[in-house]
Amino acid sequence: MLILSSLLCLLAEPALAATPGIASTLEESSKSTPKQMAEGAAEMVAEVDAAVATVAKLIESAKATKKGDAELAKCVEAKMPQLVTIQELARKTQGTLKRNLAAGKTGRAGGDFRQIAVLFAEAKAVLASAQACVSSAAGDPGKSSSSVTGGESTLVEEIDPEIDVDVPIVTTAF
């Protein structure tokens, strides 16, 4: 339990910041019936399981590419241990939630529900990070793009056709 609470303390703030809907989920948990808590927890744990399956498929896909993109596979594989840990903690916490609900300890079950919500948010963040590995690897090396909202759209060539913009290739570790 000490490990779980320590991990939740580490994960709570980034998870809350990365998931806009988590605050409403946590607020709703205080108003939820035991049945709603059990169903909500089951849905979130199922989503965590789906995230693990998705990352596993991304790893297989990265290894199966013609190029054998080792860097992409390494980036995606690096996410799996964290995701599996989140999955294990979510499942254990769901079991605790069920036991607390069965014993009529709705206050403790509410705490378990909130822990699952934080783990769910962190799983979503890790999945997004794994998907970002794939997205960044899918881009063309040496080319970059950016978008600016608002203002006037002006290309460098429209300002001065003699300007030759050469964007250097920048490699970053995933």
User: What pLDDT, on a 0 to 100 scale, did the predictor assign at position 143?
Assistant: 41
Q: How far apart are CA 30 and CA 64, in angstroms?
A: 46
30-61 residue pLDDT tens: 678 999 999 999 999 999 999 999 999 998 88
Average pLDDT over residues 60-70: 74
User: What pLDDT, on a 0 to 100 scale, did the predictor assign at position 67?
Assistant: 64
Q: What are phi and psi of 4, to 5 degrees?
A: -60, -50
Q: Count the neighbouring beta carbons within 10 Å of the beta carbon of residue 131.
A: 16
10-24 residue pLDDT tens: 444 444 444 555 555
Q: Count the neighbouring beta carbons within 10 Å of the beta carbon of residue 79.
A: 24
pTM of the predicted protein model: 0.64
Per the prediction, the chain carries an average pLDDT of 74
Helices 106-138 & 34-64 angle (0-180, nearest 10): 20
Q: Using 50, 70 and 90 to split pLDDT, how confident is the model at 68? A: low
113-148 residue pLDDT tens: 999 999 999 999 999 999 998 887 665 444 444 344
